[in-house]
């Protein structure tokens, strides 16, 4: 079976498609129509150089040197120099999947034909993607305008035989790998260096990765909440559709519908339908409002990111032979603010999960013992698990300060307002990692609480999820070292295994699961 093809610069790039190109499931190509656009754009640059017309970045210096002319003989050296001088990032290398995603996003933007890049240069970038020769990019150094200059410079140093690359599970000098594979370094033409390093692909790659990770966290959050609602004998009424029709936020309605579908035929729910409890604490009762608000933030980010990764974000842009514009499409503010919003929304998923963990230890649910062990005193039970969720939730709060609220002028004042969106993107991934750890602890506690309701059973989907947990994490009777169990639970969350179990069981049983607004919130 032939591999699905994506045409750079032509097809609409969705988040899922970008990730599929990175994984190798989809092949990205340049069509002949795309190549023609690229050639026309490169020809405009060549005309500017030979005519002597002054255009920023083609025959002038960069940033505060924009009024300094560069003669025709030096325009090539100018492009190589900008990659060298701007590769000033520091810190640990970003994950090579992020670097590869940056390459994919950059090719798609350049292939639209407004950047003056040469066809051979784009072909070489695609070669790097397909041969898994992935540049090493430091995590720190971008202020998010004029684009992600430092990380993009590191990303494209290998084109001219400099920098380092990930290749065959090792980090090697780019020059060494190019020699090994029989590839000569490129000679960049006028405008190419600037086109390569101007843009938002570092921010956008983190945002694309964040959308995927955040979606998994949100879906897991609803499953965890159902397990905890069952384990703590919570009421189903706060999830009735009649309630959420009166405040119809899409995220709220989706979460309420999902949880209602997973609870409505539960033997445990029916067993306490006439109990004396009037209402549940907020972390149980307000799951649709809290999880739903975070889903709305995810949807907002997804919509903005899909616009961004299908845009042209370098500078200057060659609109046609008569019009070249030096503007600000490289400014990261549109994503920076949305990433800060998403960071807060993700942290809130961890905050409310920590509160549910705390509730599970209180011993206020009939049949569910304090600290989740029948005999405490000699045993401390699950007490310290909540210490860990508290520590992680607190750490996330410190990461929620909006990076986009800050701006430090750069480039001798020429670039006097910057987005700091690269920091926003990095923080989102940190917060999501912490939330996954909180969720792992929550599912351990929720599964333990649910055990005490036997022989009553939840709905088949929830029972399948509970059993999948029990296949990896046993019911605990006395104090034990939790490390192995935490690692197993984190693997269940990180791999998305429980989400897969829930969806597979729904398909096998024909039961409703995530039906309301599913197309909106379960696709990217």
Residue numbers annotated as active site: 56
* Closest residue by Cα to residue 446 from 239, 287, 237: 287
Cβ atoms of 251 and 299 closer than 8 Å: yes
Task: Report how far residue 79's alpha carbon sits from residue 190's, in angstroms, rounded to the nearest whole number.
Answer: 6
Residue environment code for 131-155, b if the CB has 16+ CB neighbours within 10 A, otherwise e: eebbbbbbbebbbbbbbbbbbbbbb
Cβ atoms of 425 and 481 closer than 8 Å: no
Cβ atoms of 389 and 490 closer than 8 Å: no
In DSSP terms, which residues pair with 220 in a beta bridge? none
For 345, other C-beta atoms within 10 Å of its C-beta total: 26
* Closest residue by Cα to residue 225 from 157, 150, 282: 282
For 85, other C-beta atoms within 10 Å of its C-beta total: 12
Cβ atoms of 316 and 326 closer than 8 Å: yes
Pairing of strands 164-167, 170-173: antiparallel
Cβ atoms of 137 and 412 closer than 8 Å: no
Task: Report how far residue 220's alpha carbon sits from residue 226's, in angstroms, rounded to the nearest whole number.
Answer: 10
Task: Report how far residue 350's alpha carbon sits from residue 442's, in angstroms, rounded to the nearest whole number.
Answer: 10
Cβ atoms of 70 and 82 closer than 8 Å: no
Report the Cα–Cα distance between both ends of the chain, in Å, rounded: 25
């Amino acid at each position: 079976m032939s591999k699905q093809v994506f045409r750079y610069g032509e097809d609409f790039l969705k988040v899922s498609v970008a990730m599929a190109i990175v994984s190798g499931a989809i092949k990205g190509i340049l069509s002949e129509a795309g190549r023609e656009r690229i050639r026309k754009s490169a020809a405009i640059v060549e005309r500017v150089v030979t005519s002597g017309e002054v255009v920023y970045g083609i025959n002038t210096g960069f940033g505060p040197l924009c009024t300094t002319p560069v003669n025709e003989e030096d325009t090539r050296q100018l492009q190589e120099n900008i990659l060298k001088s701007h590769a000033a990032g520091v810190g640990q290398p970003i994950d090579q999947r992020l670097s590869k995603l940056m390459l994919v996003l950059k090719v798609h933007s350049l292939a639209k034909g407004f950047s003056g890049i040469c066809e051979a240069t784009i072909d070489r970038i695609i070669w790097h993607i397909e041969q898994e020769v992935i540049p090493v990019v430091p995590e720190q150094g971008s202020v998010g305008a004029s684009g992600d200059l430092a990380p993009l410079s590191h990303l494209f140093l290998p084109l001219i035989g400099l920098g380092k690359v990930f290749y065959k599970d090792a980090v090697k000098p780019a020059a060494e790998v190019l020699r090994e594979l029989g590839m000569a370094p490129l000679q960049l033409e006028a405008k190419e260096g600037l086109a390569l390093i101007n843009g938002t692909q570092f921010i956008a790659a983190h945002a694309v990765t964040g959308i995927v990770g955040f979606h998994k966290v949100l879906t897991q959050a609803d499953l965890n909440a159902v397990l905890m609602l069952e384990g703590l004998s919570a009421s189903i009424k706060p999830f009735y559709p009649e309630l959420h029709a009166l405040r119809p936020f899409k995220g709220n309605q989706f979460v309420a519908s999902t949880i209602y579908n997973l609870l409505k035929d539960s033997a445990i729910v029916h067993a306490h339908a006439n109990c004396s409890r009037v209402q549940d604490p907020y972390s149980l009762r307000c799951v649709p409002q809290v999880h739903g608000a975070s889903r709305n933030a995810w949807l907002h980010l997804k919509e903005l990111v899909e616009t961004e990764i299908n845009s042209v974000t370098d500078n200057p842009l060659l609109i046609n032979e008569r019009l070249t514009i030096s503007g600000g499409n490289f400014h990261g503010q549109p994503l920076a603010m949305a990433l800060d919003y998403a960071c807060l929304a993700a942290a809130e998923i961890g905050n409310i999960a920590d509160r549910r963990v705390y509730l599970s230890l209180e011993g206020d649910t009939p049949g569910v013992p304090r600290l989740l062990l029948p005999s405490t005193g000699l045993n401390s039970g699950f007490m310290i698990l909540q210490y860990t969720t508290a520590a992680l939730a607190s750490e996330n709060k410190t990461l929620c300060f909006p990076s986009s609220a800050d701006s430090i002028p750069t480039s001798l004042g020429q670039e006097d307002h910057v987005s700091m969106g690269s920091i926003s993107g990095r923080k989102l991934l940190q917060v999501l990692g912490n939330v996954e750890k909180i969720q792992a602890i929550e599912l351990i506690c929720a599964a333990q609480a649910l055990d005490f309701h036997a022989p009553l059973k939840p709905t088949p989907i929830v029972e399948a999820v509970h059993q999948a947990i029990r296949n990896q994490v046993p019911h605990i009777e006395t104090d034990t070292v939790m490390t192995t169990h935490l690692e197993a639970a984190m693997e269940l969350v990180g791999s998305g295994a429980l989400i897969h179990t829930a969806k597979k069981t729904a398909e096998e049983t024909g039961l409703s699961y995530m039906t309301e607004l599913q197309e909106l919130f379960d696709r990217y």
